[in-house]
Amino acid sequence: RELASRIAHFARFPQTGVSLRQMVEFGQNPSQGTLLRGAQFLHDELPIRLAHRVVELDSLPENLNQMPSVLRVKRMYIDSFNELINFPKASERIREAVKEATVQGNGDQRHLPGNQHNPAYQESPRISSSHWIPSIQHRYHYDVKPTELPVEVSEYNRSFVQTLEKIKRRHDPVVTTLAQGVVEYKQRMKTQKIDNHVQHFLDRFYLSRIGIRMLIGQQIELNQSQQQKQRQQGDYVGVICTHTRVKEVVQEAIDNARFICGDYYMLMSVPVIELHCPQELEFMYVPSHLHHMVFELLKNSLRAVVELFGDEAEHYPTIKVVVAEGNEDITIKVSDEGGGIPRSAMEQVWTYMYTTAQTPMLDPEFDKSDFKAPLAGFGYGLPLSRLYARYFGGDLKLISMEGYGTDAYLHLSRLSDNEEPLA
């Protein structure tokens, strides 16, 4: 069909990675003209990324790619792909206006990296100079004088953001839908383990999803702060905070995890979590990602400790969080004395496995209001946290002493020049 060949066509283009630094440089006090360039970049880039995912879903083994849940997810990607390629390109008038208002500097316009070396991409008629996003050194040369822009520019931006919001919402249930697919797959295959091939597919798929949602979220946020005429709120550029205060975010994660834990196990006394962190340490990051990862690690440690010592214990061994500041990395170590993980089970920790205890949540008849989410162990927390870490050039590692406890090392790159990893 025509659709199939369009998807195949877009999937032949390489995906273009963006670094945290580029996102920040692009998003600092963007004018409507800059936002339009962002919209044009996403208008080109998102269909490529979505097409790659559709092709990957199709090339899953026969017994997987025909499962209802997998087909539902594929449908979402195809619908969003269609919406984007049917979204009109900015009109000649709009593009001319933005180009006119652009102060031409020394002509050294820069592209997002990656594609300029790819001959296929250069042949593509979709690429025009308006696709280019200036880097910070050239920002002021290329910035746009907002007063000179016709209203059509902001109208176009607003309409594109609406499309992005719709797409983002459509894809909200992707993780749970695919998780349901994994459950069905394991039932059908009568196995508890998931195939290495499937594991790698899911890692790539979810990593790609993190990237797509980051770019979409950034464009939505930048438009909203521009519309509300508020200067950038404090240190925020979209969802990125240029001065993320590590101690503050980690302490917040500690408080939340302890609260959830006490509530879940109905504890008299919740394990103490000690934090050692340089008071003033800050770096460029997405605070919500940082919170998510640390919160996830702490829930695992709390669960291990409470389950080892029982929910009636008066005292638990303290969980220790140490934050270290290096030149390349900020590393957050979470240490618990929760008995550790057998070496043979280490690999399982990173696989996407919904254990039987969690299946009720995936039953459509199941009453969510009755359900008590397990403290940790939906099976997705750790592998997804590792993907969040890797997305900006970090990593997550576990070292365990069976019979004693576990150390989790969360490495976060502070260089912020790492391009998005795009498999």
Catalytic residues, by residue number, are 292, 296, 299-300
> Which listed residue (143, 336, 337, 420) binds ligand W6P by CB under 6 A?
336
Say whether residue 335 binds ligand W6P (CB under 6 A): no
The residue from 16, 301, 351, 413 that contacts ligand W6P (CB under 6 A) is 301
Smallest distance from ligand W6P to CB 422, Å: 27
Q: Which is nearer to ligand W6P, 42 or 382 (CB)?
A: 382
Of the ranges 184-192, 205-213, 293-301, 352-360, which one interacts with ligand W6P (CB under 6 A)? Answer: 293-301
Q: Which of residues 115-174 bind ligand W6P (CB under 6 A)?
A: none
How many Cα atoms sit within 13 Å of 249 on the Cβ side? 23
Indicate which single residue of 254, 294, 398, 410 sits in contact with ligand W6P (rule: CB under 6 A).
398
Q: Which of 54, 304, 330, 353 is in the footprint of ligand W6P by CB under 6 A?
A: 304
Cβ atoms of 287 and 235 within 8 Å: the answer is no
When asked if residue 341 is in the footprint of ligand W6P (CB under 6 A), the reply is yes
Does the protein bind ligand W6P through residue 385 (CB under 6 A)? no
Looking at the Cβ atoms of 387 and 398, the one nearer to ligand W6P is 398
Question: Cβ of residue 54: shortest distance to ligand W6P, in angstroms?
Answer: 33
**How many CA atoms lie within 13 Å of 292's alpha carbon, on the beta-carbon side?**
16
31 touches ligand W6P (CB under 6 A): no
Please report whether residue 408 would count as binding ligand W6P according to CB under 6 A.
yes
**Nearest residue (beta carbon) to ligand W6P:** 304
Told to check if 22 binds ligand W6P by CB under 6 A, we report no
Instruction: Find the largest Cα–Cα distance for the chain.
Output: 71
Looking at 72-80, 183-191, 245-253, 299-307, which segment touches ligand W6P (CB under 6 A)?
A: 299-307
Q: Which is nearer to ligand W6P, 105 or 377 (CB)?
A: 377
Of 36 and 408, the one with the shorter C-beta distance to ligand W6P is 408
Is residue 273 near ligand W6P by the rule CB under 6 A?
no
Q: Which is nearer to ligand W6P, 6 or 292 (CB)?
A: 292
**Is 300 an interacting residue with respect to ligand W6P (CB under 6 A)?**
yes
**Residue 297 contacts ligand W6P per CB under 6 A:** yes
Q: Which of 32, 406, 413, 416 forms a contact with ligand W6P (CB under 6 A)?
A: 406
Q: Which residues bind ligand W6P (CB under 6 A)?
A: 297, 300-301, 304, 336, 338, 340-341, 382, 398, 406, 408
